[in-house]
């Protein structure tokens, strides 16, 4: 498991145009574990000063924001000439997955719950749009990339927006060229798709697009390719959502369509105004309180997250309890073992002749210790000979001479039953087993699905994959580039083999 700074990289999550996303953890004493998300700029972009400035700008801008519905930034650092942004880990998934899972399970999100989700989204956007610095100067942060993928929902019902990579602030230095189109095309406002200058009303439009999609389960804008999709967004021909979802009444449709106005002047003037319209509507909408509950709905849709969380919580809670229990057991067991050891030594030192006189061989050493305890517990005075009746319950170990002429394994089994002894691990065999294996760490530019033979082992980067030493065929597959590369790598026993494949060459 690779360590970056003070964090352990545990799992690859995704890769974007500028950075890779990992799940990591910060671990401390007494079972302390804090899960985080680590965003790392792509290694092949480190030579481009423009991308480095964008990444630094995102870190500085995002770190200023402190709102319950905005993913928090914990730390930004540089290590080995690569930049890392450490953020809050939301145990759950994004809104796009929620929409897909609700459709596959035939369990609609519903109007009240959907509006509740967007109240959180608009609250976060309102905070960003009106953010002030320490001198009370308004930054006017415009997200410019609101989409279902950037709205995260936890299993407890928390809703948070993320990814301020292309956010625009009025007081920041522009790093994008005038007329450049950045963001996800299918969630852009018409003015953003045309490369025009944008303000907070572009976020209002994008939020309206996501709200339309959540309530209908369909994409608002689509196309055979990006060029056709871009043209559809620019034309902004929108059908009423009630034509797809008949539960949407005329009042709610008017609210949604106002947010989706082609001309920014006819949209809501702020996120707060948009949110207030939705709150007023749902207040009059006939429904029960449970229909607004996001947490229970998420647990119903994604039980795997609940099980994982419960298991991890129990492990952390039991860890300290186990240590206390082990300590208490040790306090009891150690004196008992010492007492039994003293009794055994006394039995040998004080009564050596008795063993020989009763016909026991000097080679007969191991006895049922509980039987010895019974003899000494009988009250006989120290130094008295042990009678024949006393040793009736003491069964001697099987010696080589006494073995029955049976199969060797059967004889060993019988001896083990009569004289259970903890077998020490064979160090030589253990080392031999370890040395036959090696570890493989792989990466690809920009990314690739990795196969060992026909088995897929993950998507790059892959860390510390354990396998037998020797030659192995590794296949790198990137469907976006339509590239498949095969490499023969040699895995050295007891060592880590590292390899990076550049699929752009």
For the annotated catalytic residues, the residue numbers are 145
Phi/psi at 428 (nearest 5 deg)?
A: -65, -45
Rounded to the nearest 10 degrees, the angle between the axes of helix 201-216 and helix 271-284 is 30
Find out whether 293 and 276 touch, Cβ atoms under 8 Å: no
The helix/strand/coil state of 254 is: helix
| Of the candidates 162, 117, 132, the residue with the CA atom closest to the CA atom of residue 14 | 162
Question: Pairing relation of β-strands 19-27 and 449-452?
Answer: unpaired
Q: Which residues contact 201 (CB under 8 A, 6 or more apart)?
A: 189, 264, 267, 268, 269
- What span, in angstroms and rounded, lies between the C-alpha atoms of 189 and 145? 10
Find out whether 85 and 55 touch, Cβ atoms under 8 Å: yes
Find out whether 112 and 279 touch, Cβ atoms under 8 Å: no
Find out whether 390 and 375 touch, Cβ atoms under 8 Å: yes
Give me Rg for the CA atoms of the chain: 35
Q: Name 25's bridge partners.
A: 8, 35
Region of residue 161 (left: phi > 0; alpha: psi -120 to 50; beta: else)? beta
The helix/strand/coil state of 456 is: strand
Find out whether 143 and 81 touch, Cβ atoms under 8 Å: no
Find out whether 96 and 149 touch, Cβ atoms under 8 Å: yes
């Amino acid at each position: 498991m690779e360590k970056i700074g003070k964090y352990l990289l545990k799992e690859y999550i995704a890769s974007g145009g500028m950075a890779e996303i990992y799940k990591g953890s910060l671990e401390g004493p007494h079972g302390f574990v804090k899960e985080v998300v680590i965003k790392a700029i792509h290694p092949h972009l480190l030579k481009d000063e423009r991308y480095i400035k964008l990444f630094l700008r995102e870190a500085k801008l995002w770190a200023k924001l402190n709102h319950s519905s905005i993913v928090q930034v914990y730390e930004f650092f540089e290590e080995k000439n690569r930049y890392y942004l450490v953020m809050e880990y939301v145990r759950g998934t994004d809104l796009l997955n929620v929409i897909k899972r609700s459709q596959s399970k035939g369990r609609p999100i519903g109007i009240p719950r959907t509006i509740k989700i967007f109240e959180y989204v608009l609250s976060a956007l309102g905070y960003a749009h009106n953010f002030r610095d320490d001198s009370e100067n308004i930054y006017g942060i415009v997200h410019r990339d609101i989409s279902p993928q950037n709205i995260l929902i936890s299993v407890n019902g928390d809703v948070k927006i993320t990814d301020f990579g292309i956010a625009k602030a009025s007081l920041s230095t522009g790093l994008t060229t005038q007329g450049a189109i950045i963001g996800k095309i299918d969630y852009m406002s018409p003015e953003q798709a045309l490369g025009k200058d944008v303000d907070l009303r572009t976020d209002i439009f994008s939020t309206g697009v996501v709200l339309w999609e959540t309530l209908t389960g369909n994409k608002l804008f689509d196309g055979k390719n990006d060029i056709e999709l871009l043209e559809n967004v620019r034309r902004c021909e929108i059908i009423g959502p009630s034509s797809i979802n008949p539960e949407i009444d005329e009042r709610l449709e008017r609210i949604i369509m106002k947010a989706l106005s082609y001309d920014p002047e006819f949209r809501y003037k702020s996120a707060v105004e948009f949110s207030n319209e939705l709150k007023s509507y749902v207040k009059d909408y006939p429904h029960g309180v449970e229909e607004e509950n996001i947490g229970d709905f998420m647990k119903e849709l994604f039980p795997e997250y609940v099980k994982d969380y419960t298991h991890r919580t129990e492990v952390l809670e039991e860890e300290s309890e186990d240590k206390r229990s082990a300590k208490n057991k040790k306090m009891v067991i150690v004196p008992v073992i010492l007492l039994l050891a003293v009794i055994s030594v006394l039995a040998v030192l004080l009564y050596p002749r008795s063993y020989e006189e009763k016909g026991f061989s000097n080679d007969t050493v191991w006895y049922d210790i509980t039987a010895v305890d019974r003899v000494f517990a009988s009250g006989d005075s120290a130094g008295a000979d042990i009678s024949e009746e006393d040793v009736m319950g003491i069964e001697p170990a099987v010696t080589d001479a006494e073995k029955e002429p049976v199969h060797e394994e059967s004889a060993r089994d019988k001896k083990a039953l009569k004289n259970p002894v903890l077998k020490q691990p064979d160090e030589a065999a253990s080392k031999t087993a370890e040395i036959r294996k090696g570890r493989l760490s792989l990466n690809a530019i920009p990314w690739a699905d990795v196969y060992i033979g026909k088995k897929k082992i993950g998507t790059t980067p892959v860390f510390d994959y354990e396998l037998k030493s020797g030659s192995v065929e590794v296949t790198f597959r990137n469907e976006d580039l339509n590239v498949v590369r095969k490499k023969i790598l040699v895995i050295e026993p007891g060592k880590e083999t590292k390899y990076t494949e550049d699929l752009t060459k």
